[in-house]
Chains A and B, each alone.
Chain A
Amino acid sequence: MNNILVAKEVTKKFGEHTALDRVSLEIPRNSIYGLLGPNGAGKTTLIRIVNQITYPDQGEVFFDGEALQPHHIAQIGYLPEERGLYKSMKVGEQALYLAQLKGLGKSEAKKRLKYWFDRLEIGDWWNKKIQELSKGMAQKIQFIVTVLHEPKLLIFDEPFSGFDPINANIIKDEILQLKEQGTSIIFSTHRMESVEELCEYIALINRSEKVLDGKLSDIKKAYKNNVFDVGVVTSDAESILRELTERFHIRSSKYDAGENQLDFTLQLPDNDSSGVLAYLSTKARVNHFVETIPSTSEIFIRTVQSKSVHE
């Protein structure tokens, strides 16, 4: 069993509105999985189904090989998009309460809280009230509460909204650390570029439907179109461009005569770039020769557009 979470043909309707339409997903164990899509696509509904806050009308969800059951809640950590804490309750007391609700014993919860408070250097907040803390500070507490019961699966809905860059980095590092220790992680976000570098797998969700999923590197491979960014130093830019234009398609070019720097974007017919590279190195000094990989949002837009064309 290599998947921590499997969704099969999950459908959820709210009255006339279909929030999820036969969505199937496989989330591999010990991976970082990106659940991507615009606002209102159905990501949060799917996550709520996994957390058993709502239930699917049709379809099934399997956690760790078993059909989803109430006791699985203790093995899932969930940081919702709409998150907050009791304003007038003390930090420590509150963290203890939420940890106990996840099924931790009181003394064990205290021990782990102390560890995390020290680790994130917020030990002296224990007796403060949430209303005395800034939003970023409160988010740290929320993060601790989410991971405290050492769940097998962590779900973060819009994880980095509300964090300043420094705290966002601290939390990012902690999440990577948890992944090292064997936790599976789901990021759900509409800001695709924010998690692109972290995710190994992604699923794109648009208008209640899954449009694409799989290993990110495979997807990128499938979506790249043999376009290369090239930069060379040469005094004879004109002849190079002329010669290349005869054989290939050059999308754009820019020549800086002072620096002898020629930059251009090259469309090749296939992925074999060795011929061009060999030719260029005889003519000029190659600065860079990089295949342009489409960003996740580009892939998303292209997939959605091609889908709507087909329809």
Chain B
Amino acid sequence: MNKLGLIIKREYLAKVRNKSFVVMTFLSPILMVGMVVLIAYLTKINDNEQRVIGILNNSDYFSNEFVITENTSYIQFRDIPLEAAKDSAAQMGFYGLLYIPDEASLEKVCERAFLYTKEAPSTAVTEKIEAVFQQRLRQQRLLDLGLSASDFEALDTDFDIKTATFQGETNVKGIAEIKAFIGGGFGYLIMMFIIIYGGFVMRSVIEEKTSRIIEVIISSVKPFQLMLGKILGTSLAGITQFAIWLVSASLLLLVVFAFFDIDPSALGAGSRIQTEMGGDMVSPVPNVDQTMLLYAQELVDIPWGMLIFFFLVYFLLGYLIYSSIYAAIGAAVDNETDTQQFIFPVILPLMLAIYVGFFSVFSNPHGPIAVGFSLFPLTSPIVMLMRLPGGIGEGGVPVWELVVSILLLLGTFIGIVWLAAKIYRVGILMYGKKPTYKELYRWLKY
């Protein structure tokens, strides 16, 4: 076995056998699911609160507009003074009392209406009540304009614009956002991987320095081999972890499907049906199922193969660039507390990429900012991936941008790894002091 292979194997095993790695691998999916369940449960409890609101209605403008919902019910008070109504509402433990006075006009009624509550009311409650008043006001004004009640019904419609490209491909509203979101997911994955596993690489370099084994090893292998082996071994461990998560997530999903009695193959079949009826899309207002199928169709139509291919390309190059910087940082310092000043400038472009991606790529995937950041090598792995789900070529990312972006990334990769290897080579043999940027620059010339 060659030396690089030996180093990769050792780094991989050292990482994978580490107790915290094992715990993290198996615990974090459980934690994630647990968090989701917990949040859902807490939200549910929060919403489950039963509220009773008393209504003292003295006006003719309102009769039974307040409809009982799952967790709010209304009880009408009649022919008692406001104070008495407030008292009895409080005594009966009602959430509140809505007072609707008798006035000459609806406007006046609305102006004088009042909600008394035990404590400051939640916005959910006030919104609901306000909506009823607004609806009533609107209705009244339309009536004043001479529209009948049935006209009013007819007015109340929903409308979704149907869109298509010039080539006649149908689009579904919001699909661009969904696509950007999928790209964003990939980009986010890359960022997380870089930060987590770059950190691992850095810590493992520091460990070799503090345990003083480094010189023993580099009397047998080239420092560059050691650095490369370390980065590759650690990332293989990371890929293992991701693979385990992916498999367990799919298993979990299957369990969920089985639980809710969903046939996963039906999703595939559905999209096929959709393709067949693609011709008569002019059918009037598509029902909900059809809309869902349209979305499914769009998602299936995303060029997944291309996306995954470029994900791998950008992931590989981006990760190698950043993790070699992390390795150089690890080599330059003696302990982890000294790394802060160097790490911030490394994380900065990553954060920038994520935020720029989410703000500008979502609103305009081909705007100048999005294009610029998807060409700049330190942000392109994230930002370009956010743009790619829209496809390549017409309507998507122009081919030249993709080519330039990858070429720049490749060039940067070679340059950065070369610089990092130089710093690494000098740094691993330096003990006892925290270097400044100036010294790092000097090391490049040793």
Chain A contacts to B: CB under 8 angstroms: 14-15, 48, 51, 53-54, 73, 76, 78-80, 82-89, 97-98, 100-103, 142, 145
Of B14, B213, B219, most A-chain CB atoms within 10 Å: B219
- Residue from the list B213, B220, B442, B445 in contact with A84, Cβ < 8 A: B213
Q: Which residue of B lies closest to A47 (CB)?
A: B219
Considering the complex, which residues of chain B in the window 186-234 have a beta carbon less than 8 Å from any beta carbon of chain A? 207-208, 211-221, 223
Residues on A with C-beta less than 8 A from B213 are 83-86
Known: A53-B429, A82-B431. A73 touches B215 (CB 8 A): no
Closest CB of chain B to A52's CB: distance in Å?
A: 8
Q: Say how far B210's CB is from chain A's closest CB, in angstroms.
A: 8
A145 to B215, CA, bound (A): 13
Which of B213, B218, B429 is the most central at the interface, judged by chain A CB atoms within 10 Å of its CB?
B213
Contact across chains for A145 and B216 when beta carbons are under 8 A apart: yes
28 pairs of residues in contact across A and B, judged by CB atoms under 8 Å: A15-B442, A15-B445, A15-B446, A53-B218, A53-B219, A73-B219, A73-B220, A80-B215, A80-B219, A82-B212, A82-B214, A82-B215, A82-B431, A84-B211, A84-B212, A85-B213, A85-B216, A86-B14, A87-B211, A98-B220, A100-B1, A100-B6, A101-B3, A101-B6, A101-B220, A103-B220, A142-B216, A145-B216
- Known A-B contacts: A14-B446, A82-B215, A145-B216. Give 17 more (CB < 8 A): A53-B215, A53-B218, A54-B446, A73-B219, A73-B220, A78-B219, A80-B215, A80-B216, A80-B219, A82-B431, A83-B213, A86-B208, A98-B220, A101-B220, A101-B221, A102-B220, A142-B216
B366 contacts partner chain A, Cβ-Cβ < 8 Å:
no
- CB-based nearest B residue for A50: B219
A73 to B219, CA, bound (A): 7
Is B219 in contact with A76, judged by CB distance below 8 angstroms? yes
Answer whether residue B10 sits at the interface, using C-beta atoms and an 8 A cutoff.
yes
Contact string, B307-321, partner A, CB cutoff 8 A, digits 1/0? 000000000000000
Q: Within the complex, what minimum Cβ distance (angstroms) separates B320 from chain A?
A: 23
Q: How far, in Å, is B311 (CB) from chain A's closest CB?
A: 34
- 0/1 interface trace, chain B 401-434, chain A, CB 8 Å (1 if under): 0000000000000000000000000000101000
Interface centre among B208, B214, B218, B431 (most CB of A within 10 A): B218
Residues of B within 8 A of A54 (CB): 446
Query: Cα distance A84–B207 when bound, in Å?
Result: 11
Q: Size range of the interface on B?
A: 20 to 34
Taking the nearest CB of chain A, how far is it from the CB of B186, in angstroms?
A: 34
Tell me how far the C-beta of A102 lies from the nearest C-beta in chain B, rounded to whole angstroms.
5
C-alpha spacing A199/B294, complex, angstroms: 86
A83 in contact with B215 given A100-B1, A100-B6, A101-B3 (CB within 8 Å)? yes
Name the B residues within 8 Å of A51 (CB-CB). Answer: 219
- With A and B bound together, what is the CA distance between A86 and B15 in angstroms? 13
CA distance A72 to B215 in the complex (A): 17
Q: How many A-B residue pairs have CB under 8 A?
A: 65
Instruction: Kindly state the separation between the CA atoms of A79 and B219 in the bound complex, as whole angstroms.
Output: 9
Q: How far is the CA of A101 from the CA of B218 in the complex (A)?
A: 10
Task: Please give, as numbers and ranges, the residues of chain A lying within 8 Å of B211 by CB-CB distance.
Answer: 84-87
In the complex, what distance in Å separates the CA atom of A145 from the CA atom of B220?
Answer: 11
In Å, the complex CA distance between A98 and B216 comes to: 8
Question: How many angstroms between the C-alpha atoms of A98 and B213 in the bound complex?
Answer: 10
CA distance A89 to B14 in the complex (A): 8
Q: How far is the CB of A166 from chain B (nearest CB, A)?
A: 23
Q: Are A97 and B6 CB-contacts (below 8 A) given A15-B442, A84-B213?
A: yes
Q: How far is the CB of B13 from chain A (nearest CB, A)?
A: 9
CB distance from B209 to the nearest CB of A (A): 9
Closest 6 CB pairs of A and B: A84-B212, A80-B215, A101-B220, A84-B211, A78-B219, A51-B219
- For residue B49, give the distance in angstroms from its CB to the closest CB of chain A: 52
Chain B residue nearest in CB terms to A12: B446
The smallest beta-carbon distance between A245 and chain B, in angstroms, is: 56
For window 213-263 of B, CB contacts with A under 8 Å fall at 213-221, 223
Query: Which residues of A are found within 8 Å of B445, using beta-carbon distances?
Result: 15
* B217 surroundings in chain A (CB, below 8 A): 98, 101
A131 and B163 alpha carbons, distance in the complex (Å): 67
- Complex Cα gap A102–B207 (Å): 21
Q: How far is the CA of A88 from the CA of B211 in the complex (A)?
A: 10
Interchain nearest-CB distance for A131 vs B (Å): 10
In the assembly, what is the distance between CA of A80 and CA of B10, in Å?
Answer: 22
Please name all residues of chain B whose beta carbon is closer than 8 Å to the beta carbon of A97 when the two chains form the complex.
Answer: 6, 10
A residues within 8 A CB of B208? Answer: 86
Closest B residue, CB atoms, query A146: B216
Most chain B CB inside 10 Å of its own CB: which residue of A14, A79, A82, A101 = A101
A54 to B208, CA, bound (A): 19
The CA-CA distance from A87 to B7 in the complex, in Å, is 17
B99 to chain A, nearest CB (A): 72
CA A88 to CA B212, docked complex, whole Å = 13
Most B CB within 10 A of own CB, among A51, A98, A102: A98
Q: Which of chain A's residues have a CB closer than 8 A to the CB of B214? A: 82
* CB-nearest residue of chain B to A16: B442
Minimum C-beta distance from A105 to chain B (A): 9
Residues of B within 8 A of A82 (CB): 212, 214-215, 431
Q: Which residue of B lies closest to A89 (CB)?
A: B14
Q: A residues within 8 A CB of B6?
A: 97, 100-101
A261 to B320, CA, bound (A): 80
Which single residue of chain A is at the shortest CB-CB distance from B221? Answer: A101
Alpha-carbon gap, A54 to B428, bound state (A): 12
**In the bound complex, how far is the Cα of B410 from the Cα of A86, in angstroms?**
34
Q: Report the bound CA distance from A97 to B11 in whole Å.
A: 11
Tell me, rounded to whole Å, the shortest Cβ–Cβ distance linking B217 to chain A: 7
A98 to B217, CA, bound (A): 7
- Residues of chain A within 8 A (CB-CB) of B18 are 88
Q: In the bound complex, how far is the Cα of B220 from the Cα of A70, in angstroms?
A: 9
Q: How far is the CA of A89 from the CA of B6 in the complex (A)?
A: 15
- A106 to B219 Cα, complex, angstroms: 19
Residues of A within 8 A of B431 (CB): 82
How far apart are B12's CB and chain A's nearest CB, in angstroms? 12
Q: Mark B10-24, 1 if CB is under 8 A from A, else 0.
A: 100010001000000
Closest to B3 in A: A101
Q: Report the minimal beta-carbon distance from A86 to chain B, rounded to whole angstroms.
A: 6
| Chain B nearest CB, measured from A16 CB (Å) | 9
Distance of A190 Cα from B127 Cα, bound (Å):
83
